[in-house]
Copies of this chain bind each other. A is one copy, B any other.
Amino acid sequence: MKVGIVNVTGYAGSELARILYLHPHVELACVTGRSGAGQRLDEFFPHLSGIDLMIEPELEDGLDLAFSALPHKASAEACIPLIEDGLKVVDISADFRLKKADEYEEWYGVEHPGPQYLEEAVYGLTELHREQVAEARLIANPGCYPTSAILALAPVVKEGLIQPTGVFVDAKSGVSGAGRGLSLTTHYSEVNENVMAYSVGGHRHLPEITQELAGVAQTPPQVTFLTHLIPMTRGILNSCYATLTPGRFGSWQQAHEEIRQLYTDFYADEPFVEVPASPPHTKHTSGNNMCLVYPAVDKRTGTLMVISCLDNLVKGAAGQAIQNMNVMYGFPETTALEGLALYP
C-alpha cells in the first residue's frame, strides 16, 4: 500500500517516517512539509538518510492512506479533502478527538473546520476501540498525555473501584512533546536543570481524558490534570492518584493485590501494554511502542496510585498511528513496531 505524510518536518512526522521505513507492507510514497518544501528529506533530517524522497508542497495522487502531523485546525483543513478524495486518514492532531464541537472550540479557541466528521472519527486508542479502528476511514490519534492517563485509569474506572471525585493525574513530560517549533519554554538553557508545572489553569488534553474515561465509567470521574516539563527529550510518566471506593476490599493489602491482578488481566492480550513487576521508567520505552502501567495501593491511606509511562513520539503519537493503520489494513498489529526500547 502507498502512504503519505502531511507535514513530515516536525517531530511526529519524522518519527512516522522513521518507523514506516521498516514496514514491509507500506511504501512511503510522498511527504509534505510546511517548512522545507523543495528540499531532500535526508538533507532536512540527516537521520532519515535511508529515505529517498523530496519534501513536496502537496501530497501526490494515488495514495491509500495519509498521516497528518500538522497542528490542530490546519490538520482538519488538510484532512477533510483527503477523506473526500477517498483516502483513509490518521490524524495525529487534536482535531477529531473530541466528540463535541463546542468543547473543541472552548479548548482550542478556534471554530472546528469540519464538525460533521466528529461523529464518524474513531478515537484511536487501539486498546479501547480496536473494532471501530478496523472499520474506520478517519482516525483521531490520541494525545500523548491521554494515551498514558487513560490506559492507567481505565481498569479501575470501568470496574467502579475509585471514587469519582479527587482524581489527580500528575504528568511529567519530556520536551519533544512541545514539538520542533521554537519557544522560550523549549530553549535549552531554560529547560535544562529545571522542572516546572505548566498550563496550571487547564491543559488541552484534559477533555480527551475525561471523554474517554466517561466512555468506560459507570460514574464519570472528575479529573484534575497537571502537566510538568522535565529536562529530557522523550518520554511521559504519569502518576495518577485516587481514593478507593469504600467497602470494596477486605484490607488495603488485598486491594493492592486484587487491583494488580485486575490490571494484569485487563491488558493480558495487549501487545503494547504491560503491567511490570516494578515501577516503570520512561527509559524502558524509549523509541518503542509500549505503555507500561503500574498500579499500587498506599496501604497507610487506602488510596490508589497508578504510574504509567510511554514514549510520547511513539505510543504517544507515530507508533500508535501505525498501530492503528495496521489494524485498519489487517496487518499484524505489531508490524514495524517490534523493536525493543533503546536503553540506556
Contacts and interface: CB of A to CB of B under 8 A. Distances in A.
B168 A303 contact: yes
A340 interface: yes
B228 A340 contact: no
Contact of A231 (B14, B232, B341): B232
Given A296-B200, A340-B21, A231 B45 contact: no
A237 B195 contact: yes
Contact of A300 (B202, B232, B276, B287): B202
Contact of A224 (B186, B201, B237, B241): B241
Interface string A240-276: 0101000000000000000000000000000000101
A18 B196 contact: no
A278 B180 CA distance: 20
Contacts of A234: 193, 344
Contact of A278 (B46, B280, B305): B46
Nearest to A199: B279
Contact of A340 (B48, B201, B282): B48
A294 B294 CA distance: 30
Interface stretch (A111-119, A138-146, A169-177, A322-330): A169-177
A331 interface: no
A contact residues, range: 35 or more
B280 A196 contact: yes
Given A200-B307, A243-B165, A340 B188 contact: no
Interface string A218-235: 000011101010111111
Given A187-B187, A277-B43, A296-B200, A235 B195 contact: yes
A18 B340 contact: yes
A272 to B, nearest CB: 11
* Copies of this chain, whole number: 4
Given A182-B183, A279-B197, A280-B196, A189 B11 contact: yes
A283 interface: yes
Given A22-B338, A45-B343, A200-B296, A194 B224 contact: no
A49 B237 CA distance: 19
Nearest to A50: B340
B232 A165 contact: no
Interface string A311-344: 0000000000000000000000000001111111
Interface of A: 11, 14, 18, 21-22, 43, 45-51, 165-166, 168, 170, 172, 174-176, 180, 182-184, 186-198, 200-202, 222-224, 226, 228, 230-235, 237, 239, 241, 243, 274, 276-287, 290, 292, 294, 296, 298, 300-301, 303, 305, 307, 309, 338-344
